[in-house]
Amino acid sequence: MVFDTELVGKIGSMALINKESNILDYTLLARISRELKPGFIWITSGAAETGRLDYIMRNGKELSINPEDAKTDYAAQGQAILMSTYRQFIDSKYSLRQVLVEHQHFNDDAKREHLKALLLRSIEQNAIPIINYNDAVSTEESRRFEIQSLKAKKVKAVECVDNDETAAQIACLVRAKRLLILTSTEGIYKDSNDPSTLIEEINGKDTEELLENITYCETYCNGASRAGANGAKAKLEYVKEAVKIGTEVIIASARHTIADLVTGKAKATRIRVR
């Protein structure tokens, strides 16, 4: 099978935050940044949470406005911090490009092709795209209205309700060989309270059987790591689209290196056709 991109990776908000000091985990982000190279497309969550923590540090309190506006303001503040940190640690011989996307970029054919061309050109141009959902300008209310309008026309709509979905859609868009989703856990568990129940392999003899086995594994998944997140079940549902084009999916802890996860040296949940 021919793929156009080596790897699409995504890191979640909670994996980026140092829980002990309640700040962005600069050591983790530095390690990841040093592994990025052309042919990798990186989706980063964490703008709103990083902006929130930075705002508290500078002002001694959280914003006392409605949550939707606060998320907008925090995301705008956090984006600058995330990008400057990635730029600081990514190899200086590579260009870095910020790409902020919204659901509309996946639901319009012309916009999809424009985005795809941008991402594929980056490989030839020695550049690494860093992607995030554009929370600073897209409100939940407007997104819901636009999605409902699409569904009313009986059109299958990409919602991008979180960056797991965004990452899976990007993987499909650029025909990625691998989709790596980094979280604060080792992968998908049969029992989220028992680390020994990690499901290290979800496979099938063909794509149809693999999709059935993914759906079965969804029955083990409950809850999410934070308010507003959709949890492990949603991850499995989103990656089905990437699996359909032959992409290998790896769901793993951000404490492992990309190299160790790709080569199979580190524990993870790997989703692929046998």
CA 30 to chain centroid: 18
Closest CA to 170 of 44, 83, 43, 46: 43
pTM of the model: 0.91
Q: Tell me the one-letter amino acid at 87.
A: R
- Residue 246: predicted pLDDT: 97
Q: Cα separation of 15 and 33, whole Å?
A: 14
Domain ranges of the chain: 5-273
- Residue 145: predicted pLDDT: 65
Residue 272: CB atoms within 10 Å: 16
Q: Cα separation of 162 and 41, whole Å?
A: 17
- Residue 146: predicted pLDDT: 67
User: Which residues of the chain form beta strands (DSSP E)?
Assistant: 5-11, 17-18, 23-24, 40-44, 95-101, 127-133, 176-183, 201-204, 248-253, 269-273
* Cross-strand bridge partners of residue 96: 128
Contact predicate 160/166, CB 8 Å: yes
List the chain pLDDT tens, one digit each, 274 residues: 789 999 999 999 989 999 888 899 999 999 999 999 999 999 999 999 999 999 999 999 999 999 889 999 999 999 999 999 999 999 999 999 999 998 889 988 999 999 999 999 999 999 999 999 888 886 666 666 666 776 676 667 777 778 999 999 999 999 999 999 999 999 999 998 999 999 999 999 999 999 999 999 999 997 554 444 458 999 999 999 999 999 999 999 999 999 999 999 999 999 999 8
Q: Does domain 5-273 have CATH number 1.10.10.10?
A: no
Q: Tell me the one-letter amino acid at 55.
A: Y
Please report the sign of the dihedral spanned by the C-alpha atoms of residue 257, residue 262, residue 264, residue 269.
positive
Q: Cα separation of 104 and 216, whole Å?
A: 31
Residue 84 structure tokens: 């400057």
